[in-house]
Amino acid sequence: MARHYFGTDGIRGAVGQAPITPDFMLKLGWACGRVFAADARGEERCTVIIGKDTRVSGYMFESALEAGLVAAGVDVKLLGPMPTPAVALMTRTQNAVAGIVISASHNPYNDNGIKFFSASGSKLADEVELAIEAQLQQDLTTVESADIGKVLRVVDAAGRYIEFCKSTAPEGLSLRGLRIAVDCAHGATYHIAPSVLSELGAEVIPIGVQPDGFNINKGVGSTDTEQLSNLVREQKADLGIAYDGDGDRVMFVDQNGDLVDGDEILYIIAMHRLATGTSDSGVVGTQMSNLGLELALQEEGLRFERASVGDRYVKALMEAHGWDLGGESSGHIICSDLTTTGDGIVASLQVLAALQARDTDLANLRSGMKKYPQTMINVRVGGKVNLADFPELTDSVAAVEQQLGKRGRVLLRPSGTEPVVRVMIEGEDEAEVGALCSGLAAEVERILG
């Protein structure tokens, strides 16, 4: 069965444009309720958790999903604004059959989307997503009045998640003496991350902690760290941490204000685990991971493999190998020995633990990894495209690959969450990489535009 709505990470789009509309969300809640109830193994009543980020449209979609779910006879627990990984956690700890997150992650406020977690706190299996798509084709019906679901708001969700995050840090970890600038992107971590870090002893300098429904990710957060870098330098902070709008990604800046991305975060965590003897297993990255990460890990005797872009593919490859660390350049880091999904706060505590153990600064901690110059350009397209349908584009890629030889690599892929094709080129020479990427992006725009 072909997918009409689900992408690589749930359903996402512009608010008010199909399918990100109230009427669709009502039908989606009902379809999910029918599927989840059918999978509940005969239980009289099952529960679905709903959390959201701070977008103004989240209120509208929360109500619509809630109505659809209870119409299908499913109970609902509302968390309010909470990070995506917190919804995964609460789905497990509340014995819910599924968790739903209303968020468009790092996108601006006028986008929104829906992510799902299974009862185990992992992303939904393909067959469950297909079952929901099939149910969406059916007419909406309401269960008998006696069977309509009930709704409960969980008032202590933030406190529970804060305690969980602290529990993932090594025993005895103290952040006393550290000045940390923290950027919460005016998103779902605004009332969580500063508390976690300050309760562990850090002096926190917060920004991006005043959400108004419209400012999520606007000039702040993991996709725009300039303001954080300036703050670190001005306040003479030891480092800065930036989360994205829904808290499943994290980026750092060092004491000089220089960006430390997801590849370097993976390297730091892997080296700390190797040094402490807690793990010598391999690391999973993606097709976008910098070649420097792969070479640095291999020099230390660690294996490295690339998954397709998307945290579900990273997690699947981690499980296939029995490895407990993986992630993406964007800062989506999965520590599967600690939690079930990418978690920006949990990952940041792992980096801070490495920093304290080595008694050094962040710039020195990442110095063992040499990043290769890498340029990526997003080319906007009209909708979903299959690159294999354009042989002229295949020829253009082959020409660039021939020019690079073994000195670099080329990656062309449609985004699973945005109407863009990502053009990425990596190699030894920065000027050459930039020129080749610009040229290939222009070809993509000409051919697909």
pLDDT tens-digit series, residues 204-239: 999 999 999 999 999 999 999 999 999 999 999 999
Kindly provide the residue ranges of all beta strands, DSSP E only, lying in 162-303, ordered along the sequence. Answer: 179-183, 203-207, 239-243, 250-253, 259-260, 283-286
pLDDT tens-digit series, residues 26-37: 999 999 999 998
Nearest to 326 by CA among 265, 372, 275, 396: 265
pLDDT > 80? residue 449: no
pLDDT tens-digit series, residues 179-189: 999 999 999 99
The count of C-alpha atoms lying within 13 angstroms of the C-alpha of 7, restricted to the half-sphere facing its C-beta, is 21
pLDDT > 80? residue 40: no
CA 92/CA 214 separation, integer angstroms: 31
pLDDT tens-digit series, residues 80-100: 999 999 999 999 999 999 999
pLDDT > 70? residue 16: yes
pLDDT tens-digit series, residues 243-262: 999 999 999 999 999 999 99
Report percent pLDDT > 70 for the chain: 98
336 pLDDT band, cuts 50/70/90, is very high
pLDDT > 90? residue 279: no
Q: What is the mean pLDDT of the chain?
A: 94
The count of C-alpha atoms lying within 13 angstroms of the C-alpha of 384, restricted to the half-sphere facing its C-beta, is 10
CA 160/CA 88 separation, integer angstroms: 13
Do residues 267 and 242 touch, judged by C-beta distance below 8 A? no
Least confident range of 31-40, 50-59, 152-161, 348-357: 31-40
289 pLDDT band, cuts 50/70/90, is very high
Buried b (16+ CB within 10 A) or exposed e, 352-367: bbbbbeeeeebeebbe
4 pLDDT band, cuts 50/70/90, is confident
Higher pLDDT pick, 195 / 383: 195
Task: Tell me whether residue 367 is one of the annotated catalytic residues.
Answer: no
pLDDT > 90? residue 383: no
75 pLDDT band, cuts 50/70/90, is very high
pLDDT > 70? residue 42: no
pLDDT > 60? residue 361: yes
Mean pLDDT across 415-436: 89
DSSP at 100: E
For β-strands 325-327 and 333-335, DSSP reports them as antiparallel
Least confident range of 29-43, 115-129, 353-367: 29-43
Query: Looking at residue 408, what is its pLDDT?
Result: 85
Domains and their CATH numbers in the chain: 11-157 (3.40.120.10), 174-260 (3.40.120.10), 261-371 (3.40.120.10), 374-448 (3.30.310.50)
Do residues 183 and 224 touch, judged by C-beta distance below 8 A? no
CA 181/CA 277 separation, integer angstroms: 30
pLDDT > 70? residue 128: yes
pLDDT > 70? residue 1: no
Mean pLDDT across 142-158: 96
Phi (first) and psi of residue 436, to 5 degrees: -65, -40
Q: Strand pairing partners for 426? A: 374, 409
309 pLDDT band, cuts 50/70/90, is confident
pLDDT > 80? residue 43: no
Q: Among 57, 105, 289, 348, which one carries the catalytic annotation?
A: 105
Task: Using only the alpha carbons of the chain, give its radius of gyration.
Answer: 22
Query: Looking at residue 100, what is its pLDDT?
Result: 98
